[in-house]
Chains A and B, each alone.
Chain A
Amino acid sequence: MNKQQRSTARAVRIDPNIVLEVHDLIKTYTVGNSTITALNNVNLTIKKGEFIAVVGPSGAGKTTLINCLGALDFPDSGKIIYNVDAKGMGLDVTQMTNKQHKKMRLRKIGLIFQFYNLFPILTAYENVELPMVIDKKDSKVREEKVKSLLKRIGLTERMEHLPTQMSGGEQQRVTIARALVNEPLIILADEPTGELDTETTTNIMKIFLNLKKAGESILMVTHNVRIAEVADRVITLTDGEFTGEKTGGKSIEEIYKF
Protein backbone atom coordinates (compact mmCIF):
# COMPACT_ATOMS: atom_id res chain seq x y z
CA MET A 1 0.00 0.00 0.00
CA ASN A 2 1.73 3.19 -1.08
CA LYS A 3 1.64 6.50 0.72
CA GLN A 4 -0.85 8.06 -1.71
CA GLN A 5 -3.38 5.31 -1.01
CA ARG A 6 -3.13 5.78 2.76
CA SER A 7 -4.99 8.48 4.64
CA THR A 8 -5.93 8.39 8.29
CA ALA A 9 -7.04 5.05 9.65
CA ARG A 10 -10.73 5.02 10.50
CA ALA A 11 -12.05 3.18 13.51
CA VAL A 12 -13.72 -0.16 12.79
CA ARG A 13 -15.67 -2.48 15.07
CA ILE A 14 -13.71 -5.37 16.56
CA ASP A 15 -14.65 -8.11 19.02
CA PRO A 16 -13.52 -6.83 22.45
CA ASN A 17 -11.91 -10.22 23.17
CA ILE A 18 -9.66 -9.97 20.15
CA VAL A 19 -6.43 -8.00 20.16
CA LEU A 20 -5.46 -8.35 16.50
CA GLU A 21 -7.16 -9.33 13.25
CA VAL A 22 -5.22 -9.87 10.04
CA HIS A 23 -7.13 -10.19 6.76
CA ASP A 24 -5.79 -11.31 3.37
CA LEU A 25 -2.31 -9.91 3.89
CA ILE A 26 -0.12 -9.78 0.80
CA LYS A 27 3.42 -8.44 0.62
CA THR A 28 5.67 -8.70 -2.44
CA TYR A 29 9.21 -7.52 -3.11
CA THR A 30 10.73 -6.74 -6.46
CA VAL A 31 14.29 -7.98 -6.91
CA GLY A 32 15.66 -7.11 -10.33
CA ASN A 33 13.08 -8.31 -12.83
CA SER A 34 11.40 -10.82 -10.57
CA THR A 35 8.73 -10.43 -7.93
CA ILE A 36 8.94 -12.37 -4.70
CA THR A 37 5.75 -12.98 -2.73
CA ALA A 38 6.84 -12.85 0.89
CA LEU A 39 3.31 -13.07 2.33
CA ASN A 40 0.43 -14.58 0.37
CA ASN A 41 -3.10 -14.14 1.72
CA VAL A 42 -2.31 -14.45 5.38
CA ASN A 43 -5.27 -14.45 7.78
CA LEU A 44 -4.92 -14.50 11.55
CA THR A 45 -6.92 -13.68 14.67
CA ILE A 46 -5.26 -13.34 18.06
CA LYS A 47 -7.37 -13.26 21.21
CA LYS A 48 -6.41 -11.12 24.17
CA GLY A 49 -3.99 -13.04 26.39
CA GLU A 50 -3.21 -15.59 23.69
CA PHE A 51 0.34 -16.79 22.93
CA ILE A 52 0.78 -17.70 19.24
CA ALA A 53 3.90 -19.14 17.63
CA VAL A 54 4.49 -18.97 13.88
CA VAL A 55 7.09 -21.47 12.71
CA GLY A 56 8.82 -21.79 9.40
CA PRO A 57 12.24 -22.08 7.81
CA SER A 58 14.43 -19.19 6.78
CA GLY A 59 12.80 -17.26 3.91
CA ALA A 60 9.25 -18.40 4.78
CA GLY A 61 8.15 -14.80 5.44
CA LYS A 62 8.38 -14.74 9.25
CA THR A 63 10.27 -11.46 9.57
CA THR A 64 8.12 -9.83 6.85
CA LEU A 65 5.07 -10.80 8.91
CA ILE A 66 6.55 -9.22 12.06
CA ASN A 67 7.55 -6.09 10.12
CA CYS A 68 4.03 -5.63 8.71
CA LEU A 69 2.27 -6.36 12.01
CA GLY A 70 4.84 -4.27 13.90
CA ALA A 71 4.19 -1.15 11.76
CA LEU A 72 7.74 -1.30 10.45
CA ASP A 73 6.58 -1.90 6.88
CA PHE A 74 3.39 -1.62 4.83
CA PRO A 75 1.84 -4.63 3.06
CA ASP A 76 0.73 -4.43 -0.59
CA SER A 77 -2.83 -5.22 0.45
CA GLY A 78 -4.87 -6.62 3.31
CA LYS A 79 -5.91 -5.38 6.74
CA ILE A 80 -4.13 -5.39 10.12
CA ILE A 81 -6.64 -4.29 12.72
CA TYR A 82 -5.57 -3.69 16.32
CA ASN A 83 -8.06 -3.38 19.13
CA VAL A 84 -6.82 -0.01 20.35
CA ASP A 85 -9.40 0.80 23.00
CA ALA A 86 -11.54 -0.97 25.55
CA LYS A 87 -14.77 -0.16 23.72
CA GLY A 88 -14.23 -2.59 20.88
CA MET A 89 -12.93 -0.07 18.35
CA GLY A 90 -10.09 -1.14 16.10
CA LEU A 91 -7.64 0.68 13.83
CA ASP A 92 -6.17 -0.69 10.62
CA VAL A 93 -2.42 0.02 10.60
CA THR A 94 -2.24 -0.45 6.83
CA GLN A 95 -4.30 2.74 6.45
CA MET A 96 -2.17 4.80 8.80
CA THR A 97 0.04 7.77 8.01
CA ASN A 98 3.73 7.52 8.94
CA LYS A 99 3.04 9.61 12.05
CA GLN A 100 0.31 7.23 13.23
CA HIS A 101 2.58 4.29 12.45
CA LYS A 102 5.23 5.78 14.71
CA LYS A 103 2.72 6.16 17.56
CA MET A 104 1.64 2.53 17.12
CA ARG A 105 5.27 1.37 17.34
CA LEU A 106 5.99 3.43 20.41
CA ARG A 107 2.81 2.92 22.38
CA LYS A 108 0.82 -0.06 21.19
CA ILE A 109 3.30 -2.68 19.99
CA GLY A 110 6.22 -4.20 21.90
CA LEU A 111 8.89 -5.51 19.54
CA ILE A 112 11.60 -8.01 20.45
CA PHE A 113 14.40 -8.85 18.01
CA GLN A 114 16.80 -11.76 17.57
CA PHE A 115 19.90 -9.61 18.03
CA TYR A 116 18.46 -7.66 20.98
CA ASN A 117 19.20 -4.29 19.30
CA LEU A 118 20.17 -2.60 22.52
CA PHE A 119 22.02 0.72 22.35
CA PRO A 120 25.52 -0.29 23.54
CA ILE A 121 26.40 2.97 25.27
CA LEU A 122 23.32 2.94 27.49
CA THR A 123 22.86 0.90 30.66
CA ALA A 124 20.14 -1.75 31.04
CA TYR A 125 18.02 0.84 32.87
CA GLU A 126 18.44 3.44 30.13
CA ASN A 127 17.74 0.94 27.36
CA VAL A 128 14.44 -0.01 29.00
CA GLU A 129 13.64 3.66 29.55
CA LEU A 130 14.36 4.55 25.90
CA PRO A 131 10.82 4.30 24.40
CA MET A 132 9.46 6.43 27.26
CA VAL A 133 12.19 9.06 26.72
CA ILE A 134 11.30 9.21 23.02
CA ASP A 135 7.63 9.44 23.99
CA LYS A 136 8.50 12.36 26.35
CA LYS A 137 7.05 10.67 29.42
CA ASP A 138 7.57 12.31 32.81
CA SER A 139 10.77 11.24 34.61
CA LYS A 140 8.98 10.03 37.75
CA VAL A 141 6.60 7.88 35.69
CA ARG A 142 9.62 6.52 33.80
CA GLU A 143 11.56 5.63 36.92
CA GLU A 144 8.66 3.81 38.55
CA LYS A 145 7.85 1.83 35.40
CA VAL A 146 11.44 0.91 34.50
CA LYS A 147 12.28 -0.23 38.03
CA SER A 148 9.16 -2.36 38.30
CA LEU A 149 9.85 -4.02 34.93
CA LEU A 150 13.49 -4.72 35.73
CA LYS A 151 12.31 -6.32 38.96
CA ARG A 152 9.74 -8.39 37.05
CA ILE A 153 12.40 -9.85 34.75
CA GLY A 154 14.92 -10.31 37.57
CA LEU A 155 17.48 -7.73 36.49
CA THR A 156 17.30 -5.16 39.29
CA GLU A 157 20.87 -5.96 40.30
CA ARG A 158 22.10 -5.40 36.76
CA MET A 159 20.35 -2.14 35.92
CA GLU A 160 23.56 -0.09 35.87
CA HIS A 161 25.28 -2.59 33.58
CA LEU A 162 26.00 -2.01 29.92
CA PRO A 163 25.07 -4.58 27.25
CA THR A 164 28.78 -5.53 26.93
CA GLN A 165 28.72 -6.55 30.58
CA MET A 166 25.68 -8.83 30.19
CA SER A 167 25.13 -12.30 28.74
CA GLY A 168 22.92 -12.84 25.67
CA GLY A 169 20.05 -14.06 27.86
CA GLU A 170 20.31 -11.00 30.10
CA GLN A 171 20.35 -8.69 27.08
CA GLN A 172 17.24 -10.38 25.71
CA ARG A 173 15.53 -9.92 29.10
CA VAL A 174 16.34 -6.20 28.84
CA THR A 175 14.68 -6.08 25.41
CA ILE A 176 11.60 -7.82 26.84
CA ALA A 177 11.38 -5.13 29.53
CA ARG A 178 11.90 -2.45 26.87
CA ALA A 179 9.09 -3.95 24.79
CA LEU A 180 6.74 -3.85 27.79
CA VAL A 181 7.58 -0.37 29.02
CA ASN A 182 4.80 1.49 27.22
CA GLU A 183 2.24 -1.20 28.11
CA PRO A 184 1.62 -2.40 24.53
CA LEU A 185 -1.43 -4.27 23.23
CA ILE A 186 0.78 -7.11 22.05
CA ILE A 187 4.35 -8.39 22.12
CA LEU A 188 5.77 -9.29 18.69
CA ALA A 189 8.95 -11.35 18.97
CA ASP A 190 11.16 -12.11 15.96
CA GLU A 191 13.31 -15.20 16.70
CA PRO A 192 13.78 -14.13 20.33
CA THR A 193 15.89 -17.17 21.16
CA GLY A 194 17.79 -17.44 17.88
CA GLU A 195 21.10 -16.47 19.49
CA LEU A 196 20.65 -18.34 22.76
CA ASP A 197 21.61 -21.78 24.10
CA THR A 198 18.97 -24.28 25.24
CA GLU A 199 19.07 -23.36 28.92
CA THR A 200 18.76 -19.64 28.22
CA THR A 201 16.05 -20.33 25.63
CA THR A 202 13.96 -22.13 28.25
CA ASN A 203 14.44 -19.20 30.66
CA ILE A 204 13.20 -16.74 28.04
CA MET A 205 10.20 -18.99 27.29
CA LYS A 206 9.40 -19.14 31.01
CA ILE A 207 9.28 -15.32 31.00
CA PHE A 208 6.94 -15.41 27.97
CA LEU A 209 4.68 -17.92 29.73
CA ASN A 210 4.62 -15.72 32.83
CA LEU A 211 3.71 -12.73 30.68
CA LYS A 212 0.89 -14.75 29.14
CA LYS A 213 -0.29 -15.73 32.62
CA ALA A 214 -0.36 -12.02 33.48
CA GLY A 215 -2.65 -11.41 30.49
CA GLU A 216 -0.18 -10.26 27.81
CA SER A 217 -0.83 -11.21 24.17
CA ILE A 218 2.22 -12.57 22.34
CA LEU A 219 3.06 -13.46 18.75
CA MET A 220 6.44 -15.13 18.34
CA VAL A 221 8.00 -16.20 15.05
CA THR A 222 10.71 -18.84 15.26
CA HIS A 223 12.37 -21.61 13.32
CA ASN A 224 12.62 -23.60 16.57
CA VAL A 225 9.66 -25.98 16.20
CA ARG A 226 10.26 -27.60 19.58
CA ILE A 227 10.17 -24.48 21.69
CA ALA A 228 7.19 -23.13 19.69
CA GLU A 229 5.04 -25.81 21.34
CA VAL A 230 4.87 -23.83 24.58
CA ALA A 231 2.54 -21.41 22.74
CA ASP A 232 -1.24 -21.92 22.80
CA ARG A 233 -1.34 -22.34 19.02
CA VAL A 234 1.45 -23.19 16.58
CA ILE A 235 0.96 -21.99 13.00
CA THR A 236 3.19 -23.14 10.14
CA LEU A 237 4.29 -20.57 7.58
CA THR A 238 5.56 -21.97 4.28
CA ASP A 239 6.55 -19.79 1.32
CA GLY A 240 4.48 -16.89 2.65
CA GLU A 241 1.33 -18.94 3.37
CA PHE A 242 -0.13 -20.39 6.53
CA THR A 243 -0.13 -24.11 5.77
CA GLY A 244 -1.02 -25.70 9.09
CA GLU A 245 -2.03 -25.15 12.67
CA LYS A 246 -1.88 -27.25 15.81
CA THR A 247 -2.51 -26.85 19.48
CA GLY A 248 0.54 -26.25 21.62
CA GLY A 249 0.34 -25.59 25.33
CA LYS A 250 3.14 -27.97 26.25
CA SER A 251 5.28 -27.29 29.29
CA ILE A 252 9.02 -26.70 28.90
CA GLU A 253 9.62 -29.88 30.93
CA GLU A 254 7.53 -31.88 28.42
CA ILE A 255 9.43 -30.43 25.47
CA TYR A 256 12.90 -31.05 26.81
CA LYS A 257 12.00 -34.11 28.98
CA PHE A 258 13.95 -32.78 31.93
Chain B
Amino acid sequence: MRKAKKSKQQGLVFQEPKDYELDPNAMIQTFDLTKIYNITEGIEIRALNGVSIDIKKGEFVSVMGPSGSGKTTLLNMIGALDNPTSGAVYINRTNIAHMDDKQRTNLRLKEIGFIFQFYNLVPVLSAYENVELPMLFAARTKQEIEKNVNKFLDLVGLSDKKDHLPSELSGGEQQRVAIARALCNEPSILIADEPTGELDTKMGMEIVKLLRELNLELNQTILMVSHDPMVGALAERILKMRDGKIIETVDTKN
Protein backbone atom coordinates (compact mmCIF):
# COMPACT_ATOMS: atom_id res chain seq x y z
CA MET B 1 0.00 0.00 0.00
CA ARG B 2 1.13 3.57 -0.58
CA LYS B 3 2.84 5.27 2.31
CA ALA B 4 0.57 7.76 4.06
CA LYS B 5 1.72 11.33 3.94
CA LYS B 6 2.84 12.93 7.14
CA SER B 7 0.76 16.01 6.58
CA LYS B 8 -2.04 16.75 9.01
CA GLN B 9 -5.56 16.20 7.77
CA GLN B 10 -7.45 19.32 6.93
CA GLY B 11 -9.55 20.51 9.81
CA LEU B 12 -7.78 18.39 12.41
CA VAL B 13 -7.71 20.17 15.74
CA PHE B 14 -4.82 19.23 17.95
CA GLN B 15 -5.61 19.48 21.62
CA GLU B 16 -3.49 21.32 24.09
CA PRO B 17 -2.46 18.80 26.75
CA LYS B 18 -5.12 18.60 29.44
CA ASP B 19 -5.32 16.56 32.56
CA TYR B 20 -7.76 14.00 31.24
CA GLU B 21 -8.36 11.26 33.76
CA LEU B 22 -7.65 8.09 31.81
CA ASP B 23 -9.41 4.93 32.94
CA PRO B 24 -6.95 1.98 32.81
CA ASN B 25 -9.83 -0.38 31.87
CA ALA B 26 -11.27 1.81 29.12
CA MET B 27 -11.14 0.82 25.46
CA ILE B 28 -12.86 4.04 24.34
CA GLN B 29 -12.93 7.33 26.22
CA THR B 30 -14.13 10.70 24.98
CA PHE B 31 -13.68 13.98 26.84
CA ASP B 32 -15.94 16.97 26.32
CA LEU B 33 -16.33 16.18 22.62
CA THR B 34 -17.91 18.85 20.45
CA LYS B 35 -18.56 19.02 16.72
CA ILE B 36 -19.85 22.14 15.06
CA TYR B 37 -20.90 22.23 11.40
CA ASN B 38 -21.06 25.56 9.63
CA ILE B 39 -24.08 25.26 7.37
CA THR B 40 -23.82 28.71 5.89
CA GLU B 41 -22.13 31.84 7.11
CA GLY B 42 -23.37 32.64 10.56
CA ILE B 43 -25.44 29.47 10.91
CA GLU B 44 -23.88 26.60 12.76
CA ILE B 45 -25.15 23.28 14.03
CA ARG B 46 -23.73 21.85 17.20
CA ALA B 47 -23.95 18.11 16.40
CA LEU B 48 -22.01 17.15 19.55
CA ASN B 49 -22.13 19.31 22.62
CA GLY B 50 -19.70 18.12 25.29
CA VAL B 51 -19.86 14.32 25.14
CA SER B 52 -17.76 12.37 27.65
CA ILE B 53 -18.08 8.59 27.65
CA ASP B 54 -16.08 5.67 28.99
CA ILE B 55 -16.45 2.21 27.42
CA LYS B 56 -14.58 -0.68 28.99
CA LYS B 57 -12.83 -3.49 27.14
CA GLY B 58 -15.35 -6.20 26.23
CA GLU B 59 -18.40 -3.99 26.86
CA PHE B 60 -21.40 -3.91 24.49
CA VAL B 61 -22.86 -0.41 24.54
CA SER B 62 -25.63 1.03 22.43
CA VAL B 63 -26.22 4.69 21.67
CA MET B 64 -29.84 5.61 21.21
CA GLY B 65 -31.68 8.79 20.39
CA PRO B 66 -33.85 10.49 17.79
CA SER B 67 -32.66 11.34 14.31
CA GLY B 68 -30.27 14.30 14.45
CA SER B 69 -29.30 13.75 18.07
CA GLY B 70 -25.63 13.27 17.15
CA LYS B 71 -25.33 9.46 17.28
CA THR B 72 -23.59 8.97 13.93
CA THR B 73 -21.41 12.03 14.47
CA LEU B 74 -20.20 10.51 17.75
CA LEU B 75 -19.39 7.22 16.01
CA ASN B 76 -17.55 9.01 13.22
CA MET B 77 -15.37 10.84 15.78
CA ILE B 78 -14.58 7.66 17.69
CA GLY B 79 -13.83 5.78 14.48
CA ALA B 80 -11.47 8.52 13.19
CA LEU B 81 -13.78 9.03 10.21
CA ASP B 82 -14.14 12.70 11.09
CA ASN B 83 -12.44 15.22 13.36
CA PRO B 84 -14.01 16.91 16.40
CA THR B 85 -14.13 20.68 16.76
CA SER B 86 -12.85 20.31 20.32
CA GLY B 87 -12.44 17.66 22.99
CA ALA B 88 -10.56 14.38 22.73
CA VAL B 89 -11.04 10.73 21.75
CA TYR B 90 -8.83 8.09 23.35
CA ILE B 91 -8.73 4.58 21.89
CA ASN B 92 -6.88 2.17 24.12
CA ARG B 93 -5.47 5.16 26.06
CA THR B 94 -4.10 6.89 22.94
CA ASN B 95 -5.38 10.29 21.85
CA ILE B 96 -6.27 9.83 18.19
CA ALA B 97 -5.84 13.54 17.48
CA HIS B 98 -2.11 13.03 18.07
CA MET B 99 -1.90 10.34 15.41
CA ASP B 100 -0.55 11.08 11.95
CA ASP B 101 -2.44 10.01 8.79
CA LYS B 102 -0.70 6.62 8.66
CA GLN B 103 -1.55 5.83 12.27
CA ARG B 104 -5.16 6.87 11.75
CA THR B 105 -5.40 4.68 8.65
CA ASN B 106 -4.00 1.79 10.69
CA LEU B 107 -6.50 2.51 13.44
CA ARG B 108 -9.41 2.34 10.97
CA LEU B 109 -8.09 -0.76 9.25
CA LYS B 110 -6.76 -2.80 12.17
CA GLU B 111 -8.07 -1.59 15.51
CA ILE B 112 -11.66 -0.79 14.61
CA GLY B 113 -14.14 -2.79 12.57
CA PHE B 114 -16.95 -0.76 10.98
CA ILE B 115 -20.49 -1.89 10.19
CA PHE B 116 -22.78 0.54 8.38
CA GLN B 117 -26.54 0.78 7.93
CA PHE B 118 -26.36 0.41 4.15
CA TYR B 119 -23.71 -2.33 4.36
CA ASN B 120 -21.39 -0.37 2.03
CA LEU B 121 -20.21 -3.43 0.18
CA VAL B 122 -18.45 -2.92 -3.14
CA PRO B 123 -21.05 -4.07 -5.72
CA VAL B 124 -18.57 -5.44 -8.26
CA LEU B 125 -16.82 -7.68 -5.72
CA SER B 126 -17.95 -11.06 -4.36
CA ALA B 127 -18.64 -11.68 -0.66
CA TYR B 128 -15.15 -13.18 -0.29
CA GLU B 129 -13.48 -10.21 -2.02
CA ASN B 130 -15.42 -7.70 0.07
CA VAL B 131 -14.27 -9.41 3.27
CA GLU B 132 -10.64 -9.54 2.17
CA LEU B 133 -10.52 -5.83 1.30
CA PRO B 134 -9.40 -4.44 4.69
CA MET B 135 -6.77 -7.19 4.88
CA LEU B 136 -5.39 -6.30 1.44
CA PHE B 137 -5.11 -2.67 2.50
CA ALA B 138 -3.49 -3.74 5.80
CA ALA B 139 -0.90 -5.65 3.73
CA ARG B 140 -1.59 -9.00 5.40
CA THR B 141 -0.08 -12.15 3.88
CA LYS B 142 -1.96 -14.31 1.39
CA GLN B 143 -2.15 -17.15 3.92
CA GLU B 144 -3.50 -14.88 6.67
CA ILE B 145 -6.09 -13.44 4.28
CA GLU B 146 -7.32 -16.83 3.14
CA LYS B 147 -7.49 -18.15 6.71
CA ASN B 148 -9.34 -15.18 8.18
CA VAL B 149 -11.75 -14.59 5.30
CA ASN B 150 -12.87 -18.23 5.41
CA LYS B 151 -12.98 -18.21 9.22
CA PHE B 152 -15.18 -15.14 9.49
CA LEU B 153 -17.45 -16.01 6.55
CA ASP B 154 -17.99 -19.32 8.33
CA LEU B 155 -18.66 -17.52 11.63
CA VAL B 156 -21.42 -15.42 10.05
CA GLY B 157 -22.83 -18.51 8.28
CA LEU B 158 -22.02 -17.54 4.70
CA SER B 159 -19.33 -20.02 3.64
CA ASP B 160 -21.57 -21.35 0.89
CA LYS B 161 -22.19 -17.90 -0.58
CA LYS B 162 -18.65 -16.56 -0.71
CA ASP B 163 -18.65 -16.25 -4.51
CA HIS B 164 -21.94 -14.36 -4.60
CA LEU B 165 -22.11 -10.68 -5.49
CA PRO B 166 -23.94 -8.30 -3.10
CA SER B 167 -26.81 -8.07 -5.62
CA GLU B 168 -27.28 -11.83 -5.25
CA LEU B 169 -27.58 -11.64 -1.44
CA SER B 170 -30.48 -10.60 0.80
CA GLY B 171 -30.11 -7.52 3.05
CA GLY B 172 -29.41 -9.72 6.08
CA GLU B 173 -26.78 -11.67 4.17
CA GLN B 174 -25.14 -8.47 2.96
CA GLN B 175 -24.95 -7.22 6.54
CA ARG B 176 -23.38 -10.55 7.58
CA VAL B 177 -20.72 -10.04 4.90
CA ALA B 178 -20.17 -6.54 6.30
CA ILE B 179 -19.73 -8.02 9.79
CA ALA B 180 -17.20 -10.57 8.49
CA ARG B 181 -15.39 -7.72 6.74
CA ALA B 182 -15.36 -5.70 9.97
CA LEU B 183 -13.88 -8.67 11.87
CA CYS B 184 -11.28 -9.90 9.38
CA ASN B 185 -8.38 -7.82 10.73
CA GLU B 186 -9.36 -8.92 14.26
CA PRO B 187 -9.96 -5.42 15.60
CA SER B 188 -10.27 -4.52 19.30
CA ILE B 189 -13.47 -2.57 18.69
CA LEU B 190 -16.55 -3.00 16.53
CA ILE B 191 -18.48 0.13 15.63
CA ALA B 192 -21.95 -0.46 14.19
CA ASP B 193 -24.05 2.42 12.87
CA GLU B 194 -27.73 1.37 12.68
CA PRO B 195 -26.75 -2.17 11.62
CA THR B 196 -30.40 -3.25 11.50
CA GLY B 197 -31.79 -0.05 9.98
CA GLU B 198 -32.49 -1.62 6.57
CA LEU B 199 -33.63 -5.03 7.82
CA ASP B 200 -36.97 -6.45 8.90
CA THR B 201 -37.47 -7.17 12.62
CA LYS B 202 -36.57 -10.86 12.48
CA MET B 203 -33.43 -10.34 10.43
CA GLY B 204 -32.49 -7.32 12.53
CA MET B 205 -32.70 -9.32 15.76
CA GLU B 206 -30.56 -12.08 14.22
CA ILE B 207 -27.87 -9.56 13.34
CA VAL B 208 -27.86 -8.06 16.85
CA LYS B 209 -27.78 -11.52 18.43
CA LEU B 210 -24.76 -12.28 16.24
CA LEU B 211 -23.09 -9.12 17.55
CA ARG B 212 -23.93 -10.17 21.12
CA GLU B 213 -22.36 -13.59 20.53
CA LEU B 214 -19.20 -11.94 19.19
CA ASN B 215 -19.16 -9.78 22.29
CA LEU B 216 -19.53 -12.76 24.64
CA GLU B 217 -17.34 -15.27 22.79
CA LEU B 218 -14.56 -13.07 21.42
CA ASN B 219 -14.78 -10.43 24.18
CA GLN B 220 -15.22 -7.88 21.39
CA THR B 221 -15.87 -4.31 22.53
CA ILE B 222 -18.94 -3.12 20.62
CA LEU B 223 -20.39 0.35 20.25
CA MET B 224 -23.67 0.31 18.33
CA VAL B 225 -26.01 3.10 17.29
CA SER B 226 -29.67 2.24 16.97
CA HIS B 227 -33.00 4.01 17.16
CA ASP B 228 -34.86 0.71 17.73
CA PRO B 229 -35.48 0.14 21.48
CA MET B 230 -35.66 -3.66 21.05
CA VAL B 231 -32.29 -3.71 19.33
CA GLY B 232 -30.66 -1.24 21.73
CA ALA B 233 -31.87 -3.17 24.78
CA LEU B 234 -29.68 -6.16 23.85
CA ALA B 235 -26.59 -4.15 24.83
CA GLU B 236 -25.28 -4.10 28.40
CA ARG B 237 -25.52 -0.35 28.64
CA ILE B 238 -27.55 2.25 26.76
CA LEU B 239 -26.37 5.82 26.29
CA LYS B 240 -29.34 8.03 25.43
CA MET B 241 -28.57 11.10 23.32
CA ARG B 242 -30.48 14.25 22.53
CA ASP B 243 -29.33 17.50 20.94
CA GLY B 244 -25.69 16.39 20.89
CA LYS B 245 -25.57 15.41 24.55
CA ILE B 246 -25.76 12.20 26.57
CA ILE B 247 -28.91 12.75 28.61
CA GLU B 248 -29.17 9.37 30.34
CA THR B 249 -27.23 6.14 30.87
CA VAL B 250 -29.22 2.95 31.41
CA ASP B 251 -27.63 -0.25 32.72
CA THR B 252 -29.67 -3.11 31.23
CA LYS B 253 -28.10 -5.70 33.55
CA ASN B 254 -30.04 -4.31 36.50
Contacts and interface: CB of A to CB of B under 8 A. Distances in A.
A164 B133 contact: no
B228 interface: no
A160 B5 contact: yes
Given A102-B126, A113-B123, 7 more contacts: A73-B167, A119-B122, A121-B114, A142-B2, A162-B81, A165-B9, A165-B82
A102 B130 CA distance: 13
Interface string A115-138: 101111111011001110110000
Contacts of A161: 9-10
Given A72-B165, A164-B76, A139 B120 contact: no
Nearest to B76: A164
A111 interface: yes
Given A113-B123, A120-B81, A164-B76, A133 B137 contact: yes
Interface of B is mostly: loop
8 contacts: A105-B124, A113-B123, A120-B120, A123-B105, A129-B2, A130-B122, A160-B5, A160-B101
A115 B116 CA distance: 14
B1 A119 contact: no
B123 A117 contact: yes
Interface residues on B, range: 20 to 34
B129 interface: yes
A245 interface: no
B146 interface: no
B109 interface: yes
A224 interface: no
A110 to B, nearest CB: 10
B180 to A, nearest CB: 15
A60 interface: no
A67 interface: yes
A129 B105 CA distance: 15
A242 to B, nearest CB: 23
Scoring B11, B105, B124, B133 by chain A CB atoms within 10 A of each residue's CB, the highest score goes to B124
A102 B1 CA distance: 23
Most A Cβ at <10 Å: residue of B81, B108, B122: B122
Contact of A139 (B2, B101, B122, B129): B2
A106 interface: yes
Contacts of A70: 124
Nearest to B129: A134
A126 B76 CA distance: 19
Minimum-distance CB pairs A-B, first 7: A121-B108, A105-B124, A164-B81, A164-B82, A133-B136, A121-B114, A162-B81
A21 B154 CA distance: 41
A85 interface: no
Given A143-B2, A162-B81, A164-B82, A134 B116 contact: no
B134 interface: yes
A98 interface: yes
Interface string B70-93: 000000100101100000000000
A117 to B, nearest CB: 6
Interface in A142-201: 142-143, 160-162, 164-165
B101 A72 contact: no
Given A121-B81, A121-B108, A160 B9 contact: yes
Interface in B133-183: 133-134, 136-137, 163, 165, 167
